[in-house]
Structures are given as C-alpha cells and as structure tokens.
Structure 1
Amino acid sequence: MRQRREHRIGPVRLSARTGIATSTAHCILKRHGMPALAATDRATGEPVRRFERSQPGELVHIDAKKLGRIPDGGGHKVLGRAAGRANQDRRDGTGYAYLYTALDDHSRLAYTEDLPEERAATCAAFLQRAAAWFAARGVTIERVLTDNAWSYTKNTWRQTCRDLGISPRWTRPWRPQTNGKVERFHRTLLGEWAYHRPYTSDAARQAAFPDWLDWYNYHRPHTGISGHTPASRVTNLSGQHI
C-alpha cells in the first residue's frame, strides 16, 4: 500500500516492484478500497469526485482544441510517414483548425465550430453563436466555465458574458481536470471523427463532421449519463429531432 500511495502505480507495476503476482496486487488494492488509477487525481492521488449540474444550462464548459488541417491529397495516414512529413511544417503548410466546443454539464449536449484562431474577439463571437444555438433548443446558459487562456480573461469576453446575462467562471490554475467534461468530449471527437479514417482533404473531413455531431447528440449512448443520449436530457429535444 505504501508503494501505491507514494508512486501512484497500478497492479502491473506494483507486481514488478514487489515480486507478487499482478492478480494478488489487484486483490490487495481492492481489499483496501483503493480506487482505480483512472478514477484518481494525478496530482494528489485522491479519488476524483464527479459533480453534475441538475439542469441544462446551469453550467456550460467551453474549450478549444487545436487540430492540424489535412492537405489536399491526404496527410501521413494516406501518404505514409515519409511523404506526409512535409505537411508537418504548419508555417508553409495547411495550418491549424481550432475546434471550439460549448458542452452542457448536465446533458453533455455539444455545439462545436471550426475556427481559424484563438483571439478574444473570436472566442466572444463563438459564445454568442453558442448561446443562440442552445437557446433554440430551449436551454438558457447561466454560467460558462473556461480555462485561464488569455482570450477568456480579456474585457471582450467579460463584456460578452454580461451582454448575454451569463456568469463567467474559470478553472483553478494547474487544475485543467476542472474542465474535464469538454476535454473528454474532444478526445471522443478526435477518436471517432477526426482520426477515425484516412481523409484525402480537410474539406472531406469537415464534410463528415455535421453527421458525426448529430450522431453524438441524438443517437450515441453516453457512458457518463448512464447510456442515455445528450438530447434525451434536454426537455423535448429528442422529440423535435428529425
């Protein structure tokens, strides 16, 4: 148990350090009520306590994910590592997309846009469109949670929040897991859309995105909400979808 607490390692590495079987290490951890490493905070080793807002709109998580664009003809997944290496120079290549997402804490309903940069005005304009999108689905945003990036601390962001009647919140420094729900969404987005198959152009990948987001919001069972879909947690939304 001392090895686990000091080094925060799982049964396989505990087995290697102590000479006992992996299954035995697992049983010992379980007997002492030690949670799986995936369920603990990396910094403290304490169990992660997951909270969820009780109603849609009480809190919306916002974050941007940087994603390399695909050149016409395909990147390294189509051309191979050697042929695709030239595209890694984003200064003279195809550049980056910034995937901005607003994700509702209660329902996990998501709104995402592909934008060209992370300026304060871009972030503020995204919030205006996201608020309108949620409002069209019967959700009024009360609070937004972002990290402490420069664009979310400027007066442009604060004024936009005031204009929309939204209360801005920021994650604690060095605690990005506070905004973990939207970060987890971005991992899902990358795995199930962006990197799901080889695309021959950025336009082809973008063309596939609306269908994927529709599937995520309306049809994909979400393990974080007991296998329900995000839309099912918003009043009447699933019934309005065609």
Structure 2
Amino acid sequence: MDRRYRSGMAKPKKGLEAPRVDEPDPQDLTEIAAEELGSRESHDARHVASADLSEYDLEGSTFSECLLEGLTLGSTRLRGSRFIESVVTDSFAPELSAARTTWRTIRIDRPRWGSAELFDASLESVRISGGKIDFLNLRGSVLTDVVIEGCSIGELDLGQVRATRVALVDCRIGTLDVSGASLSSVDLRSSTFDRIDGLDGLRGAIIDDSQLSLLAELFAAQLGVIVE
C-alpha cells in the first residue's frame, strides 16, 4: 500500500497528488531534563519527557532527531525554532507561541493546544494525528506534504498560506479560513466544517459531493444567488 494514504483514507483522485510524508524515527537518544534546555541552542538526539516548560525561552532553538513526550508548553517562547526529524507526543499548551518556526519530517501525536500561533511557519513532511486544538493559526505559512488526521480543531486559519499536497482526514473543524490562500492538491474530503471563510481561496482544493451540498448556501451567497 502506498504509505502516503493509510487504510480508510480517501484514495487520490486523478490530478490530485497525495502528501509525501516521511515518518521520523529518532533512535539512540540521550535523556535530558528541562533545565538543560535553552534558547538558541541545538539539541540533537535528545529525549525530553513529562517536563513543564511553561515560560521557558526556547526561541531560535533547534531540535533534531528528538523525542519530546508529555511536555507542558504554557507560554513557552518558541519563535523561530526548528524541529527536524522528531516526534512530539501528548503535548499540552494553553498558548503555543511558535511563529516563524520550521517543522520538517515531524510527527505530532495527540496535541492538546488552546491558541496555537504558528503563523509564517514552514511545515514540510508533517503529520498531526488526533488531539484537540481550539485555534490553529497557520496564516502566511508554507505547507508542503502535510497530513492532519482525526483532529478536532475549533478554528483553522489558512489565510494567505501556500499549501501543496495537504490532506485533512477525518477532522472536525468549526471554522476554516482560506482567505487569500494558494492551494494545490489540498484534499478536504472526509472532514467536516461548520463554516468556511474566504471561499475564493478554495481554488485548488478537492471536496466530495456531500461537502458540496453543505457548501451550496455559502457558494450561493458568494455569488449573490437567492435560493428558495
């Protein structure tokens, strides 16, 4: 089976390219405590578990081939940090300050995030699985080969993004904002939305028949058509 589409995921349509997501596999890790982490430092092949990093300043740091488990990220400053070939599991963040971060070959499992500020970020070969995010702000970011699956998201801001080969799979999303977005091979099938803002930004996305029926009223309003 093509690893890009797991069992139960909608199969690619003609002309739709599936995300090409590599799975990180960090090994031979050294366990370190939270106190050993600092801003603008490089952390390679590290294991950090059950640490409270609230109020830590980790701006500009690099985490490469790391396993980060059960971290509390309350107002942790991560602006400009880089996450490479790493796994992040069961993280909790009432406020995630991660603007202009880089995420490459990353798996994020079961995040519990309140307001996640990832605007102007770069995501490449990223999989987010499960969890609940109240507000995921990716405005102005570049997304390449990204899968978000089985996740509940209150508001997903994709305004002004450039997204290529992205799939939202079995997600429950309240509001999706695609204002000014540039989308190519973005698969929205199997996910549900209560509201979509910036309908013009959907160009380049693929939806299914049931989603089209649900969106008919929104499309009519956009065109100034009255449906009775």
Q: Do the two structures share a fold, i.e. TM-score over 0.5? A: no
TM-score normalized by the length of structure 1: 0.19
Instruction: Name the structure with the higher helix share.
Output: 1
Q: Which has the larger radius of gyration?
A: 1
If asked which structure has higher relative contact order (CA below 8 Å, sep 6+), I would say: 1
Instruction: Name the structure with the higher strand share.
Output: 2
